[in-house]
Chains A and B, each alone.
Chain A
Amino acid sequence: EVLMTQSPLSLPVILGQPASISCRSTQDLVFTDGGTYLSWFHQRPGQSPRRLIYEVSKRDSGVPDRFSGSGSGADFTLQISRVEVEDVGVYYCMQGTHWPYTFGPGTTVDIK
């Protein structure tokens, strides 16, 4: 099973300032079709997760462009260019290359 780690696990942020979350996997996430299936999800308290980013850097429909993803192989990053109040919650990375698909432990973002 591919293990996913995230850092930091807790991220206090200042409104309007940038934020960055790191995600690492224990195996390379390049699939046989050449795609790299690393996604980022955001979950607010009491809500279902929402996917923000897929295949490392592609934004889902309706996701603000202040969110961006980058990385390759086994090392990935989610960046928020300017944090807004609605960005608080838990962020998870997920690998969809090797079954069982696995999630990172989550990074809790709150306002400092």
Chain B
Amino acid sequence: EVQLVESGGGLVQPGGSLRLSCVASGFSFTNYWMTWARQAPGKGLECVADIKDDGSRTYYVDSVKGRFTISRDNAKNSLYLQMNSLRVEDTAIYYCGRDGRIDWWGQGTLVTVSS
């Protein structure tokens, strides 16, 4: 069974940093693009960053470019999101998704940016 388990969320002050992790199992991780998406409280969904199966290409939504970095370790079946210079508007549940078009979602990890 496909499983995606996120961790690393929490409360951080504006301007701070967090690193999210996602461990994948139940499928061949190295064969898939992976995605980070987010959902602000009570709001809709937004794709934040994408990474190619071998890590050679990455894409970001404009609002996080220069602040967030997506990466992966295929030997560990793991996906990461390094988030720097966090803003109040980055507060959201962050989901790890399989494939750029997200055919499977993790349970999410909550990031709260507040002073």
Assuming A54-B103, A94-B101, A96-B100, is B108 touching A103 (CB within 8 A)? no
Contact A60 B59 (CB under 8 A): no
| Minimum distance in angstroms from B9 CB to a CB of chain A | 14
| Minimum distance in angstroms from A50 CB to a CB of chain B | 7
Complex Cα distance, B90 from A2, in Å, reads: 21
Closest Cβ neighbor of B98 among chain A residues: A51
Q: Which among B45, B62, B103, B107 has the highest number of chain A CB atoms within 10 Å?
A: B45
Q: Is B102 an interface residue (CB 8 A)?
A: yes
Q: Is A102 an interface residue (CB 8 A)?
A: yes
Contact A48 B50 (CB under 8 A): no
Interface residues of B, count at CB 8 A: 19
Interface residues of A, count at CB 8 A: 21
Complex Cα distance, B103 from A49, in Å, reads: 10
Residues of B73-115 at the interface with A, using a CB-CB cut-off of 8 Å, are: 95, 100-108
Write out the residue numbers on chain B whose beta carbons fall within 8 Å of the beta carbon of A104: 44
Assuming A48-B105, A99-B59, is B44 touching A106 (CB within 8 A)? yes
Contact A96 B101 (CB under 8 A): yes
Between-chain CB contacts (< 8 Å), 17 pairs: A37-B101, A39-B101, A39-B102, A48-B107, A49-B95, A50-B105, A92-B45, A94-B102, A96-B101, A99-B50, A99-B59, A100-B59, A101-B47, A101-B50, A102-B46, A103-B45, A106-B45
Known: A49-B95, A60-B103, A101-B100. 15 other contacts (CB 8 A): A37-B101, A49-B45, A51-B102, A54-B103, A92-B45, A94-B102, A100-B47, A100-B60, A101-B50, A101-B101, A102-B46, A103-B44, A103-B46, A104-B44, A106-B44
Pairs of residues from A and B, 8 with the lowest C-beta to C-beta distance, nearest first: A96-B101, A48-B105, A100-B61, A103-B45, A101-B47, A99-B59, A51-B103, A106-B44
